């Protein structure tokens, strides 16, 4: 990944379960003033307090002003992907800020459907053209991470960059199962480097100022909701059945977007680790200090106050996950992705149980960390697949099954 700063190597990393110090999580069903939550109604009136705490201490405050969007469909192909799909590309312009480039949506809808279809909504790391070799996808002209050995040169895509991440995007499989896929390059909202905000949405909406200013993660989450704004206007998709999916740093943003925007019907967080599904209080793998050292622009400045002391953070990540309830949530880990702390991700998912119970739903419904490649859970699901930090067909197969059972 781009612009990863040196210096984080000096911060100790623990990979020894025996060395994880004991910790106490903030109780999900106790308000800041010590009141016990025993009903859905009380939980729902507590939600704004939690969102405020995550805004002030972790992700920063989201801008509240409405933003006028103008949609321009730049291409439609009724016979994409060998005639199996309709491919649309839509530029979302920020009407009040003509200096900003648009956010470009790539939308695939399966052909031959008569009803609006449920849709997976997911940002990508390398430009829409990286998702598929489909030659009709417009090559991104934005700043891109220099990945893929010569495919991106001086942060600009070359023709060779087409499909460079298609392994992570089984588009035909998703369409064959009756889902649409909407994706946006996350750098359209903010390029992922320390100066990225200067050309992104944060340059015009709440630019960095105080300790609770939003960071890049907040900006990406904001963009996800703008994707949904567009999808609500497109008759080909059923925006009430939008499953928000994200990997890693985008998986962190996905959780924040899902917590804030209850229009998302379900949320999938793949290998999101620290600042995502992993518990901050567990000293294992990446820590808040690593995050803030390598990526000082991702979170709010106040988050740095917890670099050395996550126990002082007034929230932990299970509370973020619980803000998704009662909607379905999928948390995924990979066994070789110890940096993301698979066990901490599992424990974060498990700790949401009491809130799902308030809605008479079973969250995970089990307490042992499952063996590899053994998906578990009910309304909250979890798996730890074999292999490294990545998104694989195995992961997508589980998400499709989850969406079939709980969203479709």
What is the contact surface with ligand GCU in residues (CB under 6 A)? Answer: 1, 248-249, 273-274, 286, 291, 294, 339
| Residue 290 annotated to the active site | no
179 near 400, Cβ under 8 Å? Answer: yes
Q: Nearer to ligand GCU by C-beta: 46 or 383?
A: 383
Cβ proximity to ligand GCU: between 145 and 328 the closer is: 145
Closest CB 159 distance from ligand GCU, rounded Å: 25
Is residue 248 part of the annotated active site? The answer reads: yes
Shorter beta-carbon distance to ligand GCU: residue 234 or 286: 286
Query: Which CB, 11 or 67, lies closer to ligand GCU?
Result: 11
CB of 347 to ligand GCU, least distance (A): 17
One of 55, 213, 248, 269 is an active-site residue; which one? 248
**Identity of the residue, 248 or 398, whose beta carbon is nearer to ligand GCU in the bound complex:** 248
Shortest Å, Cβ 286 to ligand GCU: 5
Name the nearest CA neighbour of 135 among 89, 176, 170: 89
Q: What are the C-alpha distances in Å from 75 to residues 72, 78, 111, 112, 224?
A: 9, 10, 16, 19, 21
Nearest distance in Å: CB 169, ligand GCU = 16
Using alpha carbons, list the distances in angstroms from residue 299 to 77, 207, 310: 39, 13, 14
Contacts of 52 (CB under 8 A, 6+ apart): none
Q: How far is the CB of 171 from ligand GCU (least distance, A)?
A: 21
Nearer to ligand GCU, 155 or 389 (CB): 389
Q: Are 307 and 292 in contact (CB under 8 A)?
A: yes
Smallest separation (angstroms) from ligand GCU to the CB of 275:
6
Structural contact between residues 252 and 272, judged by C-beta atoms closer than 8 angstroms: yes
Q: Which of 91, 155, 225, 389 is catalytic?
A: 389
Cite the active site residues: 248, 389
């Amino acid at each position: 990944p781009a612009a990863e700063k040196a210096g984080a190597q000096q911060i100790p990393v623990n990979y020894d379960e025996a060395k994880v110090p004991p910790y106490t999580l903030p109780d999900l069903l106790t308000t800041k003033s010590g009141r016990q939550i025993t009903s859905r109604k009380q939980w729902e009136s507590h939600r704004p307090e939690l969102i405020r705490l995550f805004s002030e201490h972790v992700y920063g405050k989201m801008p509240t002003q409405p933003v006028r969007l103008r949609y321009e469909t730049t291409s439609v192909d009724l016979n994409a992907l060998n005639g199996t799909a309709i491919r649309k590309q839509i530029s979302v312009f920020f009407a009040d800020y003509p200096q900003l480039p648009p956010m470009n949506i790539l939308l695939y809808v399966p052909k031959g459907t008569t009803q609006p279809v449920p849709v997976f909504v997911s940002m990508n790391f390398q430009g829409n053209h990286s998702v598929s070799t489909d030659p009709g996808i417009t090559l991104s002209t934005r700043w891109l991470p220099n990945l893929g050995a010569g495919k991106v040169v001086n942060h600009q895509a070359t023709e060779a960059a087409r499909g460079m991440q298609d392994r992570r995007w089984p588009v035909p499989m998703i369409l064959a199962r009756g889902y649409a896929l909407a994706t946006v390059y996350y750098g359209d909202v903010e390029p992922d480097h320390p100066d990225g905000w200067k050309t992104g949405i944060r340059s015009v909406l709440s630019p960095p100022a105080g300790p609770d200013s939003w960071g890049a993660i907040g900006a990406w989450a904001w963009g996800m909701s703008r994707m949904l704004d567009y999808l609500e206007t497109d008759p080909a998709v059923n925006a009430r059945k939008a499953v928000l999916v994200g990997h890693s740093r985008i998986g962190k943003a996905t959780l924040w977007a899902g917590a804030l925007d209850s229009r998302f019907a379900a949320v999938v967080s793949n290998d999101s680790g620290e600042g995502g599904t992993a518990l901050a209080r567990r000293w294992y793998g990446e820590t808040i200090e690593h995050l803030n050292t390598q990526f000082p622009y991702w979170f709010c400045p106040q988050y740095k106050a917890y670099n050395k002391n996550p126990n002082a953070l007034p929230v932990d990540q299970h509370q973020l996950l619980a803000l998704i309830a009662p909607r379905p949530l999928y948390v995924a880990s990979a066994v070789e992705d110890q940096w993301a702390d698979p066990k901490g991700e599992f424990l974060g998912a498990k700790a949401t149980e009491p809130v799902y119970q308030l809605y008479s739903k079973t969250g995970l419904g089990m307490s042992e960390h499952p063996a590899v490649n053994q998906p578990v859970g009910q309304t909250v699901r979890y798996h730890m697949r074999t292999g490294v930090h990545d998104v694989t067909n195995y992961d997508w197969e589980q998400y499709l099954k989850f969406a079939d059972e709980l969203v479709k």
